[in-house]
């Protein structure tokens, strides 16, 4: 088929539309793993998941099973989950503590947490052979590069490319905003996460995250029900309803209001949505938290932190971060039509319990198995993918405000929050990754 050559791959992405093959074609998916997921920085986990030596979490980068582990030197390593003897996976638990070393369940080879060999049973059998314990070929392989930013650990399976901070660029704001909201400047993971396998391509999920046109339509029933209860509550008690209702009723803001928000597109496909939901009500819990923040940072700096109104930051291609509510979703593509998302939640170190409970409420409202919100999205993801499989049309439209968003120094600012700029920005990066090295 024509699109298999690089020249025709290029023709699949136009400035305002992309071909459906980008989503459904198995060969394109393979190339995405090679060119995007095995080259870019991919989120592995948070350092607080592995506090003690021997603590590990397993995850995956594309089809590569990886282990994040804390070693006795205090450093966090990211290793391929594979024994160099005959290939067995070393950790089959999702997480745990491996005590002094990883030990393979097959022939008992043991490895230090930096991947080096600790012990091979009856090792004299290897005397006068080509096997050497000091040869990296017989050690657990490390990810080519590992870096972390404010406790968030990323790995790249390629030695080439920009360092993590350069690559993140403006998307660093996601982690700054999340951590700065802690009086101690740090967050801590709340284990474990929701895991959802979506029956759709991974890009459909990321495109939805900053899609400001869909909430008031796709989530209308949820938003409407919450608004009704909010109103009844206020009439009955004369008091402002709890913030958790607002978290749902905000979905049915009129479209013009969504249009007033701003989306920003950064290099490498990262995007952000700002100005959605101010989280500074004047209830006693919030005021107590703000007082602690002012004590920790001083009046001016605390105000700056609390006034950041980021709603969502996409770290393309692997993360969707909602920093003011301390949650992130990691994207793990499994197949063209299967995507695993891991939805993690964090606690602001040093902040009052009530503030944690507030963001936990949002985490459950939008993500739990009984959510009324994510269910709408998952349904739309599935039916989009189903439709894209058909011969009912060849193109996916990203025409809304195409060609109208101003660009300054490589950063695109949407003319309206409803612009499909974030989708176009993601595909600009997609195309660059997919054509690189081709
Ligand atoms: S496969 Fe791991 S020790 Fe043999
Ligand atoms: Fe949604």
> Is 14 contained in some domain?
no
Q: What is the pLDDT of residue 406?
A: 95
Q: How far is the C-alpha of 211 from the C-alpha of 203, rounded, in Å?
A: 13
Q: Is the CB of 105 under 6 A from ligand 1?
A: no
- Identify the nearest ligand to the CA of 217 by its number: 2
Say which residues have a Cβ less than 8 Å from residue 237's Cβ, sequence separation at least 6: none
- Residue 77 has phi, psi (to 5 degrees) of -110, 150
Q: What is the pLDDT of residue 294?
A: 98
For residue 83, the ligand 1 atom closest to its alpha carbon is 2
Q: How far is the C-alpha of 393 from the C-alpha of 56, rounded, in Å?
A: 46
If you average pLDDT over residues 344-357, what whole number do you get?
96
> Is 17 contained in some domain?
no
Q: Which of 82, 88, 141 to mutate to test the pocket of ligand 1 (most atoms within 8 A of CB)?
A: 88
pLDDT digits (tens, 9 = 90+) for 413-423: 999 999 999 99
Residue of minimum CA distance from atom 1 in ligand 1:
86
Residues 184 and 333 reside in one and the same domain: yes
Q: Is the pLDDT of residue 6 over 90?
A: no
Residues 319 and 415 reside in one and the same domain: yes
For residue 273, give the CATH number of its domain: 3.90.380.10
Residues 227 and 78 reside in one and the same domain: no
Residues 101 and 174 reside in one and the same domain: no
Task: Name the percent of the chain lying above pLDDT 90.
Answer: 87
Q: Is the pLDDT of residue 99 over 60?
A: yes
> Is 418 contained in some domain?
yes
Q: Measure 137 CA to ligand 1 centroid, in angstroms.
A: 14
> Is 222 contained in some domain?
yes
Q: What is the pLDDT of residue 63?
A: 96
Q: Is the CB of 18 under 6 A from ligand 1?
A: no
* C-alpha dist (Å) from residue 23 to 20, 118, 249, 333: 6, 45, 32, 12
If you average pLDDT over residues 204-220, what whole number do you get?
96
If you average pLDDT over residues 136-163, what whole number do you get?
98
Q: Measure 115 CA to ligand 1 centroid, in angstroms.
A: 14
Residues 227 and 268 reside in one and the same domain: no
Residue of minimum CA distance from atom 4 in ligand 1:
107
Q: What is the pLDDT of residue 278?
A: 65
pLDDT digits (tens, 9 = 90+) for 380-428: 999 999 999 999 999 999 999 999 999 999 999 999 999 999 999 999 9
- Identify the nearest ligand to the CA of 209 by its number: 2
Residues 219 and 234 reside in one and the same domain: yes
Using pLDDT thresholds of 50, 70 and 90, give the confidence band for residue 2: very low
Q: Is the CB of 152 under 6 A from ligand 1?
A: no
Min mean pLDDT across 1-10, 40-49, 52-61, 296-305 is at 1-10
Q: Does residue 188 have a cis bond before it (omega within 30 degrees)?
A: no
Using pLDDT thresholds of 50, 70 and 90, give the confidence band for residue 1: very low
Residues 410 and 322 reside in one and the same domain: yes
Q: Is the CB of 88 under 6 A from ligand 1?
A: yes
Domain boundary among 134, 156, 178: 156
> Is 97 contained in some domain?
yes
> Is 405 contained in some domain?
yes
Q: Is the CB of 294 under 6 A from ligand 1?
A: no
pLDDT digits (tens, 9 = 90+) for 40-62: 999 999 999 999 999 999 999 99
Q: Is the pLDDT of residue 16 over 80?
A: yes
DSSP 305: H
Q: What is the pLDDT of residue 43?
A: 98
Max Cα–Cα distance, the chain, nearest Å: 86
Residues 221 and 365 reside in one and the same domain: no
Cβ-based neighbour number of residue 307 at 10 Å: 9
Give the range of the structural domain holding residue 49, as residue numbers without chain letter.
Answer: 45-156
For residue 106, give the CATH number of its domain: 2.102.10.10
If you average pLDDT over residues 299-306, what whole number do you get?
96
Q: How far is the C-alpha of 94 from the C-alpha of 49, rounded, in Å?
A: 12
> Is 194 contained in some domain?
yes
End-to-end CA distance of the chain: 17
Q: What is the pLDDT of residue 244?
A: 83
Residues 315 and 238 reside in one and the same domain: no
Residues 293 and 147 reside in one and the same domain: no
Q: Is the CB of 104 under 6 A from ligand 1?
A: yes
- Average pLDDT value over all residues in the chain: 95
Domain boundary among 201, 225, 258: 258
Find, among 437, 429, 433, 427, the residue nearest to 12 by Cα.
427
pLDDT digits (tens, 9 = 90+) for 152-206: 999 999 999 999 999 999 999 999 999 999 999 999 999 999 999 999 999 999 9
Q: How far is the C-alpha of 201 from the C-alpha of 341, rounded, in Å?
A: 11
Residues 206 and 217 reside in one and the same domain: no
Min mean pLDDT across 23-32, 78-87, 286-295, 356-365 is at 356-365
Min mean pLDDT across 2-6, 151-155, 348-352 is at 2-6
Q: Is the CB of 86 under 6 A from ligand 1?
A: yes
For residue 120, the ligand 1 atom closest to its alpha carbon is 3
Q: How far is the C-alpha of 304 from the C-alpha of 109, rounded, in Å?
A: 53
Residues 152 and 172 reside in one and the same domain: no
Quote the number of domains for the chain: 3
Tell me if the pTM is above 0.85.
yes
Q: Measure 106 CA to ligand 1 centroid, in angstroms.
A: 5
* C-alpha dist (Å) from residue 2 to 7, 26, 151, 240, 429: 9, 14, 44, 60, 22
Q: Which of 104, 115, 120, 121 to mutate to test the pocket of ligand 1 (most atoms within 8 A of CB)?
A: 104
Q: Is the CB of 123 under 6 A from ligand 1?
A: no
Q: What is the pLDDT of residue 3?
A: 54
Q: What is the pLDDT of residue 4?
A: 62
Residue of minimum CA distance from atom 3 in ligand 1:
107
pLDDT digits (tens, 9 = 90+) for 216-261: 999 999 999 999 999 999 999 998 888 888 889 988 889 998 899 9
CA torsion, ordered 405, 409, 411, 415, to nearest 10 deg: -20
Q: Measure 86 CA to ligand 1 centroid, in angstroms.
A: 5
Q: Measure 216 CA to ligand 2 centroid, in angstroms.
A: 9
Q: Measure 123 CA to ligand 1 centroid, in angstroms.
A: 13
> Is 141 contained in some domain?
yes
């Amino acid at each position: 088929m024509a699109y298999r050559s690089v020249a025709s791959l290029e023709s699949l992405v136009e400035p305002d539309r992309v071909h459906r093959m980008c989503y459904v074609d198995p060969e394109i998916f393979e190339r995405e793993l090679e060119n995007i997921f095995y080259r870019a920085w991919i989120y592995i986990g948070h350092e607080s998941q592995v506090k003690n030596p021997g603590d590990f979490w397993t995850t995956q980068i594309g089809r590569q099973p990886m282990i994040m582990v804390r070693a006795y030197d205090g450093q966090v390593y990211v290793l391929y989950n594979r024994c160099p003897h005959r290939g067995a996976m070393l950790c089959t638990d999702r997480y745990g503590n491996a005590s002094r070393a990883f030990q393979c369940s097959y022939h008992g080879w043991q490895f230090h947490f930096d991947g080096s060999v600790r012990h091979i049973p009856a090792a004299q059998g290897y005397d006068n052979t080509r096997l050497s314990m000091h040869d990296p070929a017989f050690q657990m392989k490390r990810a080519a590069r590992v870096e972390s930013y404010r406790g968030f650990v990323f790995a790249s399976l390629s030695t080439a490319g920009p360092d993590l901070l350069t690559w993140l660029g403006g998307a660093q704001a996601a982690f700054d905003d999340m951590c700065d909201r802690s009086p101690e400047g740090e967050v801590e993971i709340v284990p474990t996460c929701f895991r959802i396998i979506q029956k759709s391509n991974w890009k459909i999920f990321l495109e939805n995250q900053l899609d400001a046109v869909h909430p008031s339509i796709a989530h209308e029933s949820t938003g409407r029900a919450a608004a009704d209860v909010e109103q009844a509550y206020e009439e009955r008690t004369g008091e402002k309803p709890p913030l958790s209702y607002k978290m749902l009723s905000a979905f049915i803001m009129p479209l013009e209001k969504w249009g007033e928000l701003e989306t920003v597109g950064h290099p490498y496909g990262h995007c952000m949505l700002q100005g959605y939901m101010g989280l500074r009500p004047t209830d006693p819990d919030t005021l107590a938290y703000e007082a602690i923040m002012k004590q920790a940072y001083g009046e001016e700096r605390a105000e700056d932190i609390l006034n950041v109104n980021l709603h969502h930051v996409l770290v393309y291609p692997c993360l969707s971060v909602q920093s003011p509510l301390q949650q992130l979703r990691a994207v793990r593509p499994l197949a063209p039509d299967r995507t695993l998302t891991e939805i993690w939640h964090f606690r602001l170190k040093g902040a009052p319990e009530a503030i944690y409970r507030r963001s936990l409420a949002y985490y459950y409202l939008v993500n739990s198995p009984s959510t009324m919100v994510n269910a709408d999205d998952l349904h739309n993801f599935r039916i989009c993918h189903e439709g894209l499989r058909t011969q009912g049309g060849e193109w996916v439209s990203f025409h809304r405000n195409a060609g109208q968003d101003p660009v300054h120094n490589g950063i695109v600012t949407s003319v309206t929050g409803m612009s499909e700029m974030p989708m176009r920005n993601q595909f600009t990066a997609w195309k660059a990754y997919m054509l690189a090295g081709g």
